[in-house]
Amino acid sequence: MPLDETALEDALRSFVAAALAPEVLDGAVIWDRQRGPRPAPPFATLELVGPGGPWGAVPEWQHEFDPDVAGGGMSAVAGGEIVEETIHHHEYALRLKTYADAPRTARNLMIRIHDRANMRSGRDGLRESSGIVVAEVGPIQDVGALLDTDWEGRAVMTVRIRVGDMVEDRIGYVATVETVNELE
């Protein structure tokens, strides 16, 4: 089944919202650069970069041939179409930003996401619910900004994730099979 990026985005947004609840309301976890008014602090933004990510990784095609399995990983019911199943691995960078009235508050919010992404329960929940694997959790950076005459707390972090989808290649039908005995 091809990768459903909408479901991927929904799962990631829910993951971040759960990490920040109850201080940050669900509606204050938004996708970066989306149209509409900016929420009141505290809030968080997400940006999904990929597939491939900024590390130069490219999607990897993998076909596991298993000689102990009839067809070696390809399947066909007698008289049916031959189907090859391949796993396509995608790698993404999830860039997260938190905003708050005070610099330390933004950092503390990001620490909660960082901790959830590093905890077994957080990782397992994400993998089991949507097939997303957390590959690497980057460091938290404090990047506060001066707005008018006050500092706005901001923190950023990048999480590298991987997700796979099954792709089927329908090879077709075998009409006839012929063997040739050749002796050399």
Q: Is residue 157 included in any domain, yes or no?
A: yes
Q: Is residue 76 included in any domain, yes or no?
A: no
Measured CA to CA, the distance from residue 156 to residue 106 in angstroms comes to 9
What is the average pLDDT across 82-89? Answer: 71
H/E run at residue 110: helix 103-118
- pLDDT confidence tier of residue 57, bands split at 50, 70 and 90: very low
Domain that holds residue 44: 5-64+81-172
Which residue is associated with the tokens 């049916």?
A: 80
**Can you give the pLDDT at residue 52?**
59
Cis? peptide before 51, omega within 30° of 0: yes
Q: Is residue 182 included in any domain, yes or no?
A: no
Instruction: State both tokens at 110.
Output: 């990001």
Total tally of structural domains belonging to the chain: 1
Indicate which CATH number applies to the domain containing 11. 3.30.70
**Can you give the pLDDT at residue 53?**
40
Strand partners for 47: 95
Bridging pattern class, strands 74-75 and 60-62: unpaired
Q: Is residue 72 included in any domain, yes or no?
A: no
Q: Is residue 179 included in any domain, yes or no?
A: no
Q: Is residue 137 included in any domain, yes or no?
A: yes
Cis? peptide before 67, omega within 30° of 0: no
Measured CA to CA, the distance from residue 158 to residue 19 in angstroms comes to 15
pTM here?
0.71
Instruction: Tell me the per-residue pLDDT of 12-49, one tens digit each, with 9 for 90 and over.
Output: 999 999 999 888 887 899 998 777 788 889 999 999 98
Q: Is residue 152 included in any domain, yes or no?
A: yes
Contact between residue 53 and residue 92 where contact means Cβ atoms under 8 Å apart: yes
